[in-house]
Chain A
Amino acid sequence: MDTSKNNTIIVWTILALSVAGFTDAVYLAMKRIIGSPINCFAFSGCDTVAQSTYSAIFGIPLSLLGAIFYAVTIILITYYLQRRTKKGLQRVLAMAILGGVFALYLFALQAFVIKAWCLYCVISDTIGVVTALLAIYLWRKEK
Chain B
Amino acid sequence: MSKKGQEIFIWLLIVIGLGAIVLGMYAAVAKPAVVIGDLVIPVSSADWRKGNENAKVTLVEYSDFQCPACKYYYGIVKELEKEKGDAVQMVYRHFPLQQHAFAKTAAIATEAAGKQGKFWEMHDILFDRQEEWSVSENIQQSIVEYATLIGLDIPKFISDVQSVDLASRVERAITEGGTQGIQGTPTFFINGTQVRFQSYEELKQLVEDELNK
Q: Confirm or deny: A104 has a beta carbon within 8 angstroms of a beta carbon on chain B.
A: no
Given contacts A39-B185, A42-B98, A26 and B69 within 8 Å (CB-CB): no
Given contacts A37-B196, A40-B97, A47 and B69 within 8 Å (CB-CB): yes
| Interfacial chain B residues near A123, Cβ < 8 Å | none
Given contacts A27-B28, A27-B29, A40-B68, A48 and B99 within 8 Å (CB-CB): yes
Q: How many residues of A contact B (CB 8 A)?
A: 32
| Interfacial chain B residues near A35, Cβ < 8 Å | 29
**Contact for B18 among A39, A44, A71, CB less than 8 A:** A71
**Contact for B183 among A22, A41, A51, A113, CB less than 8 A:** A41
Q: How many residues of B contact A (CB 8 A)?
A: 35
Are A37 and B100 in contact, CB atoms less than 8 angstroms apart? Answer: no
Instruction: Tell which of A3-11, A74-82, A87-95 binds the partner.
Output: A74-82
Q: Which of B1-42 contact A (CB under 8 A)?
A: 7, 10-11, 14, 17-18, 21-22, 25-26, 28-30, 33
* Binary per-residue interface labels of chain A (31-54) against chain B in the complex, 1 for a CB within 8 Å, 0 otherwise: 100111111111111011001100
Are A45 and B29 in contact, CB atoms less than 8 angstroms apart? Answer: no
| Interfacial chain A residues near B197, Cβ < 8 Å | 37
* Binary per-residue interface labels of chain B (67-107) against chain A in the complex, 1 for a CB within 8 Å, 0 otherwise: 11110100000000000000000000000011111000000
Are A22 and B64 in contact, CB atoms less than 8 angstroms apart? Answer: no
A40 to B185, CA, bound (A): 5
B96 to chain A, nearest CB (A): 10
| Interfacial chain B residues near A48, Cβ < 8 Å | 66, 68, 99-100, 134
Residues of B bordering A, CB below 8 Å: 7, 10-11, 14, 17-18, 21-22, 25-26, 28-30, 33, 64, 66-70, 72, 97-101, 134-135, 183-186, 196-198
